[in-house]
Amino acid sequence: MIRGVFFDLDGTLFDTVKDLLTTYRHVFARMGAVFDPAKLRIGPPLVESLKECKPGITPEEITDAVAAFKAFYDSCGFPETTAYDGVPEALAALHASGIKLFIATNKRLTPTLKILELRGVMPYFTDVYATDSITERKVTKAEYLQMAMEKYGLSPENCLMVGDTCLDVEAGHKAGLRVVGVAWGYDENGAMAAAGPEWVIRHAGELATLVKNL
């Protein structure tokens, strides 16, 4: 019986790419650099993404870019960020069945909480784990999964990880969880499926039925 479900955010629950692209264009314009959208991967932490988008970026540029990104993105209101079809209903159904729901994301905590609140789904979640939830040291997504299970008395056998990229599959498996891959997110070249999720769903409405049958 499933007692806990962990969700990635970008590409899994919400399509965030338009607001992120707007923010990266703003940041690169401030640096006097050209932003190539083709280099942006949605999923890795911000600093890693900046390094991928601008090879050779200096530490000083990273510091300035991170500050500019936070100031712009966190206050943008997320006008183009939308829930994928069926996601709010799936979250409501899982929550109503008594399952504890969690966010485990490489996104920062401030925009994560704002998006969840603005889109009306925050009440469904027991806890939220973002890349900067712990500031004293770097914590991986797999570690956050393990910490949450320990905190809430859950075990890998009765939890699932839901995500759209190979990073989510790898994190879930490293923490001992079975993984549900979603086919609608930001997967690249079949990497998510190649990482070996136990299931792949094509619509959020399939999730509640899958969980019920486990």
Which of 26, 41, 74 corresponds to the end of one domain? Answer: 74
DSSP string, 102-134: EEE-SS-HHHHHHHHHHTT-GGGEEEEE-TTS-
Q: Using one digit for the tens of pLDDT, what is the confidence trace for 95-104? A: 999 999 999 9
Q: Using one digit for the tens of pLDDT, what is the confidence trace for 115-139? A: 999 999 999 999 999 999 998 888 9
One domain, residues 118 and 63: no
| Average pLDDT over all residues of the chain | 95
Tokens of 176: 């001992």
One domain, residues 119 and 192: yes
Domain range for 70: 17-74
Give the integer Cα–Cα distance in Å for 95 and 207.
12
Is this prediction's pTM over 0.75? yes
One domain, residues 122 and 144: yes
Closest CA to 161 of 182, 132, 140, 147: 182
One domain, residues 69 and 24: yes
* Beta carbons of 77 and 9 less than 8 angstroms apart: no
